[in-house]
Amino acid sequence: MNSVYVLSPDRVPFMPCQPVIARLLLAQGKAKVRHRTPFTIQLLAQPEQTYTQPLTHGVDTDSAVIGSAVSDECGSVVYLSEVQVRNDIADTMKERTRARRNRRHRKTRYRAARWLNRKNSIKQGRFSPTMKSKIDAHLREIRFVRSLLPITSLILETGTFDPHTLKNPEVLHNKWLYQKGINYGFANTKASVLTRDGYLCQHCKGKSKDTRLEVHHVIFRSQNGSDEETNLLTLCKTCHDGLHAGTIMLKHTGKKRGTLRHATQMNSIRVQLLRQVEAEETWGFITKEHRILAGLPKEHIFDAAMIATRGVKPLFSTTSVLSKRCVSDGDYQQTKGARSEQRITTGKIRGFRKFDKVRYLGQEHFIKGRMSTGYAILMDISGNKVTLKPIPKFDKMERVSARSSWMMTQRTMPNSSYAII
């Protein structure tokens, strides 16, 4: 059974009601539908008495998927959602940089130097676009929940990460290494690798008589090879040149570049959220223990439920989970083609925009692409193309909701046996 969220005439959230109560209010003309996803009604007249309970909003913060849940004092969960935040901003901006550089190279008109005059890039306390997007995604979810339910307290599960330890776990067993670093006593990583290999070519073992030594990436940097010692090898220039020419093959195994991007981002997200909202703080190891004791599987929504109930085994009053995927507010690419000769329509085509939620043949989809001839390519919330034949036409679609900063749909909880029937 799913709860229906209720708003007052001035949009103040009340406690959710049962679907049968919502149907009666709508049939009697005492309420109207405010949102379809999630289903929310708004009362047309202020009730004589209002009744609310203390509700706790639990948020499982993350740099990829945010878990969110709301529970009352008895452990009854009335709201569940998962938010997939954006991780494509950096790649998109790099692509934009390549396109602009190519265009400016072709159009060789004089451009005055513009160094150190970009105010946003030298502003104090500035966050990268990716970080700003992720922090805003957390705050947007908190505001969204507060617009539906009378939240009285907020709990955030945060995490602090030590990149030095994550990159070099051996420092945990040697305090001296942690304080002074892996390459302490060497000018750089290259000097450390040369000393480790005894200044000897690791392929020919000095048989080439070439005294010029070079440090080689076992897995090439172009193939995402790491710059750490585990991926570096000492070779003489003769063997190094032969390797890149393809006449020599190495038997050594290397290591791809690891990323600590998400760990670093979570350190900043934690600080900013605690600074901008009034919330209690909890940690992942506490949530994990509570979830295991409750017998729940590893899911973001279940972690958020354990956070909201403060460790009490949750009773799910709803089996509906809101799935959200953050997208850009608009389409910023205006042209395409080798010379930007073809203009892209970023506005509406026959009343539809990209990422609009539409209903076609009784199913809800999102618009992935549009054709000026009146056809559209549809996708699911994960961005996977929906194969439909014949190609859907705009004339046979109904727009359910307009494009916003996230796509939203509802799905059933992974294991509905936990819910209250």
Ordered by start, the domain boundaries in the chain are 5-43, 55-87+132-159+262-327, 167-245, 330-404
CA–CA separation, 228 and 214 (whole Å): 15
The DSSP H or E segment spanning 233 is strand 232-236
How much is the CA Rg of the chain, to the nearest whole Å? Answer: 28
List Cβ neighbours of 182 (8 Å cut-off, separation of 6 or more): 168, 170, 171, 192, 229
CA–CA separation, 125 and 149 (whole Å): 33
Q: Which residues in the chain land under pLDDT 50?
A: 421
Predicted local confidence at residue 421, as pLDDT: 47
CA–CA separation, 9 and 34 (whole Å): 11
Q: Which two tokens stand for residue 276?
A: 């901008």
CB 372, CB 316: distance < 8 Å = no
Predicted local confidence at residue 113, as pLDDT: 66
CB 68, CB 82: distance < 8 Å = yes
Classify domain 55-87+132-159+262-327 by CATH architecture.
2-Layer Sandwich (3.30)
The DSSP H or E segment spanning 19 is helix 19-27
Burial of residue 12 (CB within 10 Å: 0-12, 13-18, 19+) is middle
Phi, psi values for residue 301, rounded to 5°: -70, -35
